């Protein structure tokens, strides 16, 4: 059984349109015949003949038999001009050319898409070291900012503690029974040690990263 697209693929039918004047209509014509490949079509209903072949139906089946696959005698019997064979052959050649061009364009598009994806992959891989460096930079900067925040908080607490204790001692200056309050010096030492550690971290940060890299990190962390 031949498919409707045997003679001319559907992709190019629009480019090689068949006009109404090129169509030969058959009305309830049932025939039995054999094509040039030896395939027998028994009691099939012929629908029409166009520039490519004869369209037939039988129950739920159907198709188109290309004129190049029919004998000239059978075509004459049907009243189909025999020059349709050459027309069908030319149209089939045009169809093949269109199909080849379509496949070539699709393959070229696929190759271009593959090349673009490969280029994107290479760019991604090439940028991996820079992304890793920026990630490490952000981690180091976050650690510095966290320590600075902790120092600021510790200083604020120490100032409040000193103010409260000073007020308490002043209020109880003449009270011999009131204890004398004071702030442990170790709290101040802890802050000083943290400040020293912060200074070291900043020096190491500036040593590891260029100014451009630090500016990029600052842009990603506005307000810090």
Say yes or no to pLDDT of 222 above 90: no
pLDDT, tens digit, for every residue of 94-125? Answer: 888 999 999 999 998 998 998 888 888 888 78
DSSP annotation of 180 reads P
Report d(CA 210, CA 138) in Å as an integer: 13
Q: Which residues contact 181 (CB under 8 A, 6 or more apart)?
A: 165, 168, 169
Given a contact cutoff of 8 angstroms between Cβ atoms, the answer to whether 57 and 94 are in contact is no
102-108 LR contacts (CB < 8 Å, sep 24+): 102/11
* Structure-token pair, residue 94: 């045009």
pLDDT of residue 2: 45
CA separation (Å) from 96 to 4, 50, 90, 109?
16, 18, 10, 20
Task: Give the model's confidence band at 8: pLDDT under 50 very low, under 70 low, under 90 confident, else very high.
Answer: very low
* Structure-token pair, residue 154: 């510790």
pTM: 0.45
Task: Please name the residue that has the structure tokens 């702030």.
Answer: 183
Report d(CA 102, CA 105) in Å as an integer: 5
Q: Which whole number is the average pLDDT over 71-92?
A: 91
pLDDT, tens digit, for every residue of 133-176? Answer: 888 998 998 999 999 999 999 999 999 989 998 888 888 888 87
Say yes or no to pLDDT of 184 above 90: no
Given a contact cutoff of 8 angstroms between Cβ atoms, the answer to whether 66 and 56 are in contact is no
CA Rg value for the chain: 45
Angle subtended by helix axes 128-171 and 84-126, to nearest 10: 40
Mean pLDDT, all residues of the chain: 85
Q: Which whole number is the average pLDDT over 20-31?
A: 84
pLDDT of residue 197: 96
pLDDT, tens digit, for every residue of 36-66? Answer: 999 999 999 999 999 999 999 999 999 999 9
Say yes or no to pLDDT of 31 above 70: yes
User: How many helices (H) does the chain have, and how many strands (E)?
Assistant: 6, 4
């Amino acid at each position: 059984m031949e498919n409707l697209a045997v003679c001319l693929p559907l992709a190019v039918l629009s480019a090689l349109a068949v006009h109404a004047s090129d169509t030969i209509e058959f009305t309830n014509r049932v025939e039995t015949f054999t094509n040039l490949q030896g395939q027998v079509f028994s009691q099939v209903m012929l629908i029409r003949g166009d520039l490519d072949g004869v369209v037939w139906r039988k129950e739920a089946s159907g198709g188109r038999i290309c004129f190049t696959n029919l004998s000239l005698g059978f075509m004459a019997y049907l009243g189909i001009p025999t020059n349709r064979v050459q027309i069908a052959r030319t149209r089939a050649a045009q169809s093949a050319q269109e199909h080849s061009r379509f496949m070539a364009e699709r393959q070229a598009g696929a190759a271009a898409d593959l090349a673009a994806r490969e280029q994107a992959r290479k760019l991604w891989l090439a940028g991996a070291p820079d992304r890793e460096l920026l990630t490490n930079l952000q981690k180091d900067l976050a650690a510095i900012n966290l320590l600075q925040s902790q120092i600021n908080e510790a200083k604020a607490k120490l100032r409040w503690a000193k103010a409260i204790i000073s007020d308490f001692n002043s209020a109880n200056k003449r009270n011999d029974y009131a204890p004398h309050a004071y702030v442990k010096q170790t709290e101040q030492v802890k802050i000083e040690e943290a400040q020293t550690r912060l200074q070291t971290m900043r020096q190491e940060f500036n040593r590891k990263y260029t100014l451009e890299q630090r500016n990029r990190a600052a842009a990603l962390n506005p307000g810090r």
